[in-house]
Amino acid sequence: MDMTRLRRLAAVAAGAVVVLGGGVGAASAGDGVGLSGTDLAPDQIGRSANIEVLANVPHTGPFTGQFGTDIAFQGDRAYVGNYQGFIIYDISDPTEPKTLSQVNCPGSQNDVSVSGDLLYVSTDSSRSDDSCASTSQSATIEESWEGIKIFDVSDPTAPVYVKAVETDCGSHTNTLVPGETSDYIYVSSYSPRSTFPDCQPPHDAISIIEVPKADPASAAVVATPNLFPGDTGLGQTSGCHDITAYPAKKIAAGACMGDGIIMDISDPAAPVVVERVTDTENFAFWHSATFNQKGTKVVFTDELGGGGAATCNEQIGPTRGANAIYQLSADNQLTFGSYYKIPRHQFDSENCVAHNGSVVPVNGRDVMVQSWYQGGVSLWDFTDIENPRELGWFERGPLSPRNVGGTWSAYYYNGYVYSSDIQKGFDVLRLTDKNLKKAADVRLGELNPQSQPVYR
């Protein structure tokens, strides 16, 4: 989400505070089966018959009213970013997730990745310093800080702040590329300005942080590769919004403002762009990328309107603010297949556009769950690349009073769908479609959706 278009963070309380506890709110679907979009009253739940609503954990304490963001998973825990910090949930019983800790460490967006005992958290708002007691401070001040914070989460009830690493233009998102002795963190950021000392245009680079596993406190930026050297304007990248790695195939897909790219990451500290596509007719803001299970297709998303606009309506149409599905050849060349957008029109008061999702591991099919902000969670099939179709959905009616909201990220993990709703908190869903039943047999010890695993 491009929050520069939406609002600035308010001043926040100083100090890093861990708050234990947290309750589970009722998540009954009521009479919402078959209802969606403009059928729904404010806050009413609507869903397809093949999606069951199991639980909702509202934001509490200082997190109330702050935006929930991205999710990472490890074992029986879910790590959920929030503009106020991050939350760790115990999901050993998905019908009753419990809050293990809330870490008060404000900064946009606080997207998260987890690796072993370490949690990597993105800060993409200019702060007075790198502490959790920082306050908002203009990026025109050279001493202002943005970047990656590293926490030790070996005790999920009491995370420990380990290290901060400053990066050019901050860290809007981060992508884990794991190695044997070190983790590599690809930091995506954008929106350079000549008045920002640490974010000068052009900004066609990413920052790569190496984190030695034996000494994470020595983490540092080891490279800032220019992904588009000699660029004369094919898309005017000015940075990348998000990168998804497929470590087993040593490739990554990037959404870089006006372009979709494929990178060879054989050397994780020196990625090389090997393919680049653009779509000036329908795509406004290349936001994110997801591989299918086999790594033979890539779904790129267009976050038209920066996440704050109503684009799921008849006026905008089916090809803008949508997904673009590409075939990926053995030599990493991209060929356009089709667009996919939810077929359920939303109210003009509802921000709705393609956002974060992940594949559902079903052999022989390409199925994905995906967030669409107030368009809800979409379950869809792109096995036939030219004819994608929606299989199911979960959503709420428009917020009252009107506000930016809806689901930021929705991911499939170990038999369930977990969604981070900007305003409503943490949702747990279950797919009851019999044709997807075997997906629940696939178990992972860890999932960072921007570092796709090989599903077995």
Q: What is the pTM of this model?
A: 0.94
CB 201 within 8 A of CB 238: yes
Which of 417, 404, 347, 342 is closest to 372 using CA atoms? 342
Average pLDDT, rounded, for the chain: 93
Is 70 exceeded by the pLDDT of residue 11? no
| pLDDT of the residue at 144 | 98
Instruction: Give the residue-averaged pLDDT of 104-115.
Output: 97
pLDDT in tens, 327-383: 999 999 999 999 999 999 999 999 999 999 999 999 999 999 999 999 999 999 999
Give how far Cα 19 sits from Cα of 15, 78, 196, 292, Å. 12, 16, 35, 38
Contact 57, 51 (CB under 8 A): no
- Asked if 222 and 208 touch (Cβ cutoff 8 Å), the reply is yes
CB atoms within 10 A of CB 184: 22
Beta-strand (E) ranges in 21-67?
45-47, 51-57
C-alpha pair distances (Å), 334 with each of 30, 258, 286, 319, 327:
44, 15, 15, 19, 6
pLDDT for the residue 238? 84
SS3 156: coil
pLDDT exceeds cutoff 50 at 9: no
End-to-end CA separation in angstroms for the chain = 32
pLDDT digits (tens, 9 = 90+) for 20-67: 333 344 444 457 999 999 999 999 999 999 999 999 999 999 999 999
**Architecture of domain 3-447 in this structure:** 7 Propeller (2.130)
- As a residue count, the chain comes to 456
Which amino acid is present at 139? A
Range of lowest pLDDT (7-11, 112-116, 360-364): 7-11
Question: If we measure between CA atoms, which residue out of 227, 225, 265 comes closest to residue 245?
Answer: 265
Dump pLDDT digits (tens) for 78-106: 999 999 999 999 999 999 999 999 999 99
Distances (CA, A) of 265 to 158, 226, 278, 452: 34, 14, 21, 14
Interval 291-307 mean pLDDT: 97
2-16, 292-306, 386-400, 412-426: least confidently modelled range: 2-16
